[in-house]
């Protein structure tokens, strides 16, 4: 009987030690970045995936660019990787010799005119019209001290470059330009290239909410005279006329006549020279809800200003709208348009439209 009790006690001791060991193993392999969420053991395949995208490179970032849980909420790990992948894609396409004519441009005065400067916080913002730029200009206006809050800025001031307090990079000397390009935080925003062109067409030639008569009375007639097939039609500029103009390899003849108004529909390459200027972040309009707070944090200004509230659904890519607009355009004209904007599609990871593949 004595031996039986000893054997039973030994069994209980073994079971107890096994439970302690199991608890220790579970605690050891918990995800340290869970921050209060339900903890589960890490999976080896997840670790392998992180290694493939070179997470250790983050340690080379300046301290003020490091992400925090507050800024990214549930995207603490994913968000920095998304932006690193975008920049890596950009570098790879820039090195593609076959796309060189579509991805490279000189850092001319035209490009420097597009870049707005915030010296106080060492920020450069390249303007890409029809991609929510008005809101980013408001952010910079507040940072430059012209107004104390975004709500106080009158709409007519935002685009008045004599009153909004936003200097252009072109206004500095060559040495000052070079210094800012080398040292400042630099960013711009993109969206699907074809959807951007639809937005430009609607804003300038259909609705024209800012009452800019030269688009309808000077630019539209110029495009119609050169590109409308049926000259007996008397209706205003149609989207197919617009596409025919943009896809024409000889479009620059009209561009010169239109002057800086072309900024609303020229390529991102022509606007911001992304292969010549090393940008810190490239935001996407389709993911602006995540990208805006990331940019503010990366630039070190998230404690000073917030990006204006984004109306629900406004940044979502509208495939149906794009297909509807292009349904009345010939395949030949669409292909010519894509040939001009292919660099934008490839540099920023946008898919070739399905209606081009059919």
Residue 30 confidence (pLDDT) = 32
Contact yes or no for 90/280 (Cβ under 8 A): no
What's the pLDDT at 161? Answer: 82
Structure token digits, residue 270: 């022509």
147-178 per-position pLDDT tens digit = 889 999 998 889 888 888 899 999 999 999 99
Write the pLDDT tens digit of every residue in 61-72.
333 333 333 333
pLDDT at position 198: 98
Burial letters 233-249, b for 16+ CB under 10 A, else e: eeeebbbbbbbbbbbbe
Q: What is the mean pLDDT of each run of 10 residues along the chain (358 residues)?
A: 52 51 36 30 30 33 34 54 96 97 97 97 97 94 91 89 91 98 98 98 89 90 92 85 96 93 97 98 97 96 94 92 96 97 98 87
Q: Residue 247's pLDDT is what?
A: 97
Place of tokens 């685009």: 159
Helical ranges in the chain per DSSP H: 2-28, 44-52, 69-72, 78-94, 100-103, 109-114, 133-143, 155-158, 174-183, 193-201, 213-214, 220-227, 239-247, 252-258, 268-272, 288-298, 319-326, 331-347, 354-357
pLDDT for the residue numbered 26: 36
R_g (Cα) of the chain, nearest Å: 27
> What's residue 266's pLDDT?
97
pTM of whole model > 0.85?
no
* pLDDT at 104 (0 to 100): 97
Q: Taking the CA atoms of 214, 220, 221 and 227 in sequence, report the sign of the dihedral they define.
A: positive
What whole-number distance in Å separates Cα of residue 243 and Cα of residue 156?
30
């Amino acid at each position: 009987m004595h031996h039986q009790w000893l054997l039973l006690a030994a069994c209980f001791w073994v079971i107890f030690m096994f439970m302690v060991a199991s608890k220790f193993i579970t605690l050891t392999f918990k995800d340290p970045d869970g921050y209060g969420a339900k903890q589960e053991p890490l999976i080896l395949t997840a670790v392998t995936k992180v290694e493939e995208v070179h997470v250790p490179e983050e340690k080379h970032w300046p301290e003020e660019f490091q992400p925090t849980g507050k800024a990214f909420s549930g995207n603490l790990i994913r968000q920095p990787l998304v932006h690193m992948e975008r920049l890596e894609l950009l570098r790879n396409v820039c090195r593609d010799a076959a796309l060189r004519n579509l991805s490279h441009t000189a850092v001319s005065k035209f490009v420097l005119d597009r870049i707005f400067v915030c010296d106080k916080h060492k920020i450069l913002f390249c303007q890409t019209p029809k991609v929510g730029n008005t809101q980013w200009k408001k952010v910079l206006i507040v940072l430059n001290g012209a107004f104390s809050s975004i709500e106080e800025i009158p709409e007519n001031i935002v685009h008045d470059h004599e009153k909004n307090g936003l200097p252009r990079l072109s206004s500095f000397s060559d040495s000052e330009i070079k210094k800012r390009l080398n040292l400042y935080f630099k960013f711009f925003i993109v969206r699907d290239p074809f959807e951007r062109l639809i937005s430009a067409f609607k804003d300038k030639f259909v609705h024209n909410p800012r009452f800019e008569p030269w688009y309808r009375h000077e630019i539209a007639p110029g495009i119609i005279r050169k590109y409308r097939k049926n000259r007996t039609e008397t209706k205003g500029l149609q989207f197919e006329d617009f596409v025919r103009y943009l896809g024409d390899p000889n479009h620059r003849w009209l561009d010169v006549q239109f002057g800086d108004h072309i900024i609303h529909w020229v390529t991102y390459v022509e606007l911001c020279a992304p292969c010549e200027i090393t940008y810190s972040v490239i935001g996407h309009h389709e993911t602006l809800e995540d990208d805006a707070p990331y940019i503010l944090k990366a630039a070190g200004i998230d404690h000073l200003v917030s990006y204006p509230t984004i109306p629900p659904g406004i940044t979502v890519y509208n495939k149906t709208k794009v297909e509807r607009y292009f349904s009345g355009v010939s395949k030949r004209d669409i292909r010519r348009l894509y040939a001009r904007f292919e660099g934008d599609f490839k540099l920023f990871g946008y898919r070739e439209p399905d209606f081009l593949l059919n």
